[in-house]
Amino acid sequence: MQIAYGSDRGKNRKVNEDYVSWFANRAKQPLLLLCDGMGGHRAGDVASEMAVSHMGEAWKLTEFRDCEQVSRWLLDTIQKVNRLIFQKSLDYADLDGMGTTLVAATYVDRELVIAHVGDSRAYLYRNYQLKQLTEDHSLVYELVKSGEITVDEARKHPQKNVVTRSVGTRETIQVDLTSMPLATEDLLILCTDGLSNMIEEDQIRDILKDWSSLDDKVETLINAANDAGGLDNISLILAAFSDREEG
pLDDT per residue as tens digits for the range 108-167? 989 999 999 999 999 999 999 999 999 999 887 787 777 777 777 667 766 777 889 999
Which residue type, as a one-letter code, is found at position 205? Answer: R
Residue 151 lies in a domain: no
User: Average pLDDT in the 50-65 region?
Assistant: 97
Domain that holds residue 92: 2-132+168-240
Confidence (pLDDT) at 246: 46
Q: Which CATH number goes with the domain that contains 194?
A: 3.60.40.10
Residue 145 lies in a domain: no
Distance CA 131, CA 144 (A): 17
Q: For residue 162, is it within any domain?
A: no
Residues 6+ apart with CB under 8 A from 223: none
Report the pLDDT value the prediction gives residue 41, as an integer from 0 to 100.
59
Report the share of the chain in percent with pLDDT over 90.
82
Domain assignment present for residue 157? The answer is: no
- The answer to whether residue 247 scores a pLDDT higher than 50 is no
Q: What is the pLDDT of residue 180?
A: 96
Number of domains in the chain: 1
* pLDDT exceeds 80 at position 42: no
Residue 140: inside a domain, yes or no?
no
Q: What is the mean pLDDT of residues 211-220?
A: 96
The Cα-based distances of 35 to 52, 99, 232 in angstroms read 7, 10, 13
Kindly state whether residue 155 falls inside one of the protein's structural domains: no
pTM: 0.94
Lowest mean pLDDT: which of 35-44, 147-156, 226-235?
147-156
Q: What is the mean pLDDT of the chain?
A: 93
Q: Please report whether residue 147 resides in a domain.
A: no
Is the pLDDT at 206 greater than 90, yes or no?
A: yes
Sequence-separated (6 or more) residues with CB below 8 Å from residue 244:
none
Asked if residue 115 belongs to a domain, the reply is yes
Furthest C-alpha separation in the chain? 50
